[in-house]
Amino acid sequence: MDLDELYQEVILDHYKRPRGVGLREPFEGESHQVNPTCGDEITLRVHVEGDTVADLSYENVGCSISKASASVLYELVNGANIDDALARLKEFTALMNSRGQGEADEETLEDAVAFTGVSKYPMRVKCALLGWMAFKDALVRAEAVPTPEGGAE
Amino acid sequence: MEAASKLDVESIRADFPILQRKIGDKTLAYLDSAATSQRPVQVTDAMRQFTDYSNANISRSVHTLASEATDAYEGARAKVASFIGAISPDEVVFTKNSTESINLITYAFQNAAVERGADPRFVLKPGDEVVVTEMEHHANLVPWQQLCLRTGATLRWIGITEEGRLDLDDLDEVVNERTKVVSFVHVANLLGTVNPTSQIVARAKAVGALVGLDSSQAVPHIPVDVAELGVDFMAFTGHKMLGPTGIGILWAKAELLDAMPPFLTGGSMIETVTMERTTFAKAPAKFEAGTPPVAEAVGLAAAVEYLEALGMENVRAHEKELAGYMLEKLEAVDGVTIIGPRVPIGRGATVSFELEGVHPHDVGQILDSEGVAVRVGHHCAKPTCIRFGVTATTRASGYVYTTTDEIDRMVSALDKVRKVFA
């Protein structure tokens, strides 16, 4: 088992020095997500100005993968155009669900490329996606994107 | 000098092919038996022999296979009954797992609440109280909690001390004349605590309440005798005691089973059926609707035989040594905090701990890379986690096949964890 592939330097760095952490005002949408298998939690807020994610703020408890992933999410979507942010969300989700077969585009995913190895560990994919699911839900709650089929929950 | 373990662990290990398994290039060190135990070839062989040679549905046809299958299934029931000191095999109900066993009891209460002429011991109403403990596995918490929400009864619980023991100081207040039923954990799955039962059972009896045990983590590890315990019901499961998944056990006093409304209804649990009405079979059949897990019962019987041959006193002694060793070694690791009793007295070889600054998921992942399998997470005991201010723990648990060498491997793997996350 190649642990270095999972615990890449860039992941450990985001874990030890998370970017953008803390809950801030103002915000229009807030989401609380829990991983029931391990008890990891995140509360994440989005502040939307026009078509831009003006601020993304969060508090979380969890493992290195889930905390680093939230930090990387912050770097990728904070200040981004909502459509671009959604495109990255889609790209990252697809990468995580690729069971190690996905190829990450460093142009768009930047540090999130380091999570490619995580997709080989099915037990950890949920950790990596926790913050991203909260982001998606917070955008819906902020009414920045249409409510998906079946509602926001 | 302490007496050596009476178990011949090396020859036991030879019965468990999975212990030869490699994880990557490392030999498996399986320290997750509290989640599920491994199975000896004797169990697998018995199930295979039954499947290859005698498989049939039970209690229906008159052909030879049906008769053999029925004998095998009922024989398993008798074996389990004698293993736990039940006075009759009819007091043993086979279920799917401990969770279903406990739901069978809570649904007896719930069904009694809406049935005319139900035994008043099972009829809950506002003002009545149900007592559990703060160290329950979700299986012995959520069913009672939901029952209370549906009937208006109040759920109360016995707390936990800082040392991870039940806090019995206010037992007489928590268990009182309003209490209808007390259901508590025998051996705690997260803390490893072996709870003293006599005081709680005596108090429950004194106030006229029914009293039962979740013995999922007890029956596999210590001698258990239902008559000696003096309880009314007890739940446990096959897969934690060297048996297969898919079979659990509810033991209850015959008189109680007779008074309880059935949980699941359908085939095999009836006496007569018309389009309008049904009368039910006597227990245990009354609680075993549909085709039961026959091959699993055969496997469970083989597991019980295996444990009986080892001797449950020897199993307990072996695990006491393991617990002492695990506690000593883990306490010596920088940054480790044990959650639960720190002395190998009144506890089993299941030890939860925190490693400062590292999430249990990460601990478990790195241990796995060294071939060491532990459980990480909240262990389906979230209230216990909350009590100790942690979201999750790493838990190592040993059994009859566990060696001190495997514990040493876990401890040295913890050094690697510390290096990666330093």
Q: What is the pLDDT of residues B130-146, one digit of tens each?
A: 999 999 999 999 999 99
Is the reported ipTM for this assembly greater than 0.90?
Answer: no
Whether B362 has its CB under 8 Å from any CB of chain A: the answer is yes
Give residue A150's pLDDT. Answer: 54
Per residue of chain B (422 residues), give pLDDT as tens.
344 568 999 999 999 999 999 999 999 999 999 999 999 999 999 999 999 999 999 977 889 999 999 999 999 999 999 999 999 999 999 999 999 999 999 999 999 998 888 999 999 999 999 999 999 999 999 999 999 999 999 999 999 999 999 999 999 999 999 999 999 999 999 999 999 999 999 999 999 999 999 999 999 999 999 999 999 999 999 999 999 999 999 999 999 999 999 999 999 899 999 999 999 999 999 999 999 999 999 999 999 999 999 999 999 999 999 999 999 999 999 999 999 999 999 999 999 999 998 999 999 999 999 999 999 988 888 888 889 988 889 999 999 999 999 999 999 999 999 999 87
CATH code for the domain of A72: 3.90.1010.10
Residues B263 and B119 in one domain: yes
Give residue A2's pLDDT. Answer: 72
Give residue B275's pLDDT. Answer: 95
Domain count within chain B: 2
Residues B390 and B256 in one domain: no
Any domain includes B370 = yes
Q: Say if the Cβ atoms of A40 and B366 lie within 8 Å.
A: no
Give residue B1's pLDDT. Answer: 38
Closest residue in B to A37 (Cα–Cα):
B377
Given a contact cutoff of 8 angstroms between Cβ atoms, the answer to whether B184 and B159 are in contact is: no
Domain that holds residue A76: 3-141
Please give the C-alpha separations between residue B241 and each of A74, B89, B292, B308, in angstroms, as whole numbers: 47, 19, 19, 11
Residues B146 and B230 in one domain: yes
Any domain includes B2 = no
Any domain includes B233 = yes
Residues B287 and B330 in one domain: no
Q: Say if the Cβ atoms of A3 and B421 lie within 8 Å.
A: no
Task: Answer with the one of B284, B308, B332 that is the final residue of a domain.
Answer: B308
* Sign of the CA dihedral with A58 first, then A62, A68, and A69 last: negative
Calpha distance B94→B92 (Å, rounded): 7
Task: Answer with the one of B308, B342, B371 that is the final residue of a domain.
Answer: B308
Q: What is the DSSP letter of B166?
A: B
Burial class (CB in 10 A: 0-12, 13-18, 19+), A145: middle
Per-residue pLDDT band for A1 (boundaries 50, 70, 90) equals: low
Calpha distance B215→B224 (Å, rounded): 9
Q: Say if the Cβ atoms of A63 and B361 lie within 8 Å.
A: yes
Please give the C-alpha separations between residue A57 and each of A19, A76, A92, in angstroms, as whole numbers: 10, 13, 19
Give residue A149's pLDDT. Answer: 61
Q: Say if the Cβ atoms of B391 and A63 lie within 8 Å.
A: no
Domain that holds residue B14: 9-39+312-420
Any domain includes B140 = yes
Task: Check whether A82 has a pLDDT greater than 50.
Answer: yes
Give residue A38's pLDDT. Answer: 72
Domain count within chain A: 1
Q: Where are the beta strands (DSSP E) in B79-133?
A: 92-95, 129-133
Given a contact cutoff of 8 angstroms between Cβ atoms, the answer to whether B232 and B143 are in contact is: no
Give residue B3's pLDDT. Answer: 46
Task: Answer with the one of B308, B341, B367 that is the final residue of a domain.
Answer: B308
- Comparing CB atoms, the residue among B24, B369, B382 nearest residue A39 is B382
Residues B92 and B237 in one domain: yes
Q: What is the pLDDT of residues B198-250, one digit of tens each?
A: 999 999 999 999 999 999 999 999 999 999 999 999 999 999 999 999 999 99
Any domain includes A146 = no
Collapsing DSSP to helix, strand or coil, B65 comes out as helix
Residues B237 and B334 in one domain: no
Q: Is the overall model pTM greater than 0.90, yes or no?
A: yes
Pairing of strands B375-377, B372-373: unpaired
Q: Which residues have a Cβ under 8 Å from the Cβ of B112 and sit 6 or more positions away?
A: B118, B119, B122, B123, B124, B260, B261
Any domain includes A103 = yes
Active site residue B380: yes
Q: Which two tokens stand for residue B12?
A: 């036991």
